[in-house]
Amino acid sequence: MSRRLALRAAVPVALTTALLLAGCGGSDDDPAAAGSSSGGSADSAVPDTADIVDGVTADDALAAGLPADLSALAVGSNVQSPPNNFYAEDGSTPVGFEVDIITAIGKKLGLEVEYSDMAFDSLITSLQTGRVDATIAGMNDTAERQGSIDFVDYFTSGITIMVQKGNPAGIEASADLCGKAIAVVQGTTQEDFAAEQSAECEAGGEDPLEVTATPSDSQNQTQLRTGRVDAILNDLPTAVYISKTAGDGEYFETVDQDPINGGPYGIGVAKEDAALRDAMQQALQSLIDDGTYGEILGAWDVTSGAVDQATVNGG
Interatomic CA distance for residues 93 and 310, integer angstroms:
27
Beta carbons within 10 angstroms of residue 31's beta carbon: 24
Give the amino acid at 226.
T
Q: Over 70: is that where the pLDDT of 23 sits?
A: no
Residue 150 sits at the vertex; the CA angle it makes with 147 and 151, to the nearest 5 degrees, is 125
- CA dist., res. 88 & res. 96, Å (int): 9
- Give the pLDDT confidence of 51-90 residue by residue, as tens digits: 999 999 999 999 999 998 899 999 999 998 899 999 999 9
Query: Average per-residue pLDDT in the chain?
Result: 87
| H or E segment and range at residue 190 | helix 189-203
Domain 159-261 in this protein, CATH class: alpha beta
Rounded Cα–Cα distance for residues 136 and 196 (Å): 26
What pLDDT score was predicted for residue 262?
Answer: 87
The per-residue pLDDT for 2 is 45
pLDDT, tens only, 102-118: 999 999 999 999 999 99
pLDDT for residue 12 is more than 60: no
For the chain, give every domain's residue range: 5-157+263-305, 159-261
pLDDT at 9 over 70: no
pLDDT tens digits along 233-269: 998 898 988 998 899 999 999 998 888 988 999 999 9
* CATH architecture under which domain 5-157+263-305 falls: 3-Layer(aba) Sandwich (3.40)
Cβ pair 174, 257 in contact under 8 A: yes
Count how many Cα atoms sit within 13 Å of the Cα of residue 245 in the half-sphere of its side chain.
28
CB 185 within 8 A of CB 191: yes
- Strand, coil or helix: what is 307? coil
Per-residue confidence band for 304, with pLDDT thresholds at 50, 70 and 90: confident
Percent of the chain with pLDDT over 90: 75
How far is Cα 193 from Cα 113, in angstroms, rounded to an integer? Answer: 33
The answer to whether 83 touches 97, Cβ cutoff 8 Å, is yes
Asked if the domains at 5-157+263-305 and 159-261 fall in one CATH topology, the answer is: yes
Cα–Cα dist 181/73, whole Å: 40
What confidence category does residue 22 fall into, taking pLDDT thresholds of 50, 70 and 90? very low
Residue 66's nearest CA partner among 11, 134, 7 is 134
Segment 203-211 shows an average pLDDT of 97
pLDDT value for 301: 86
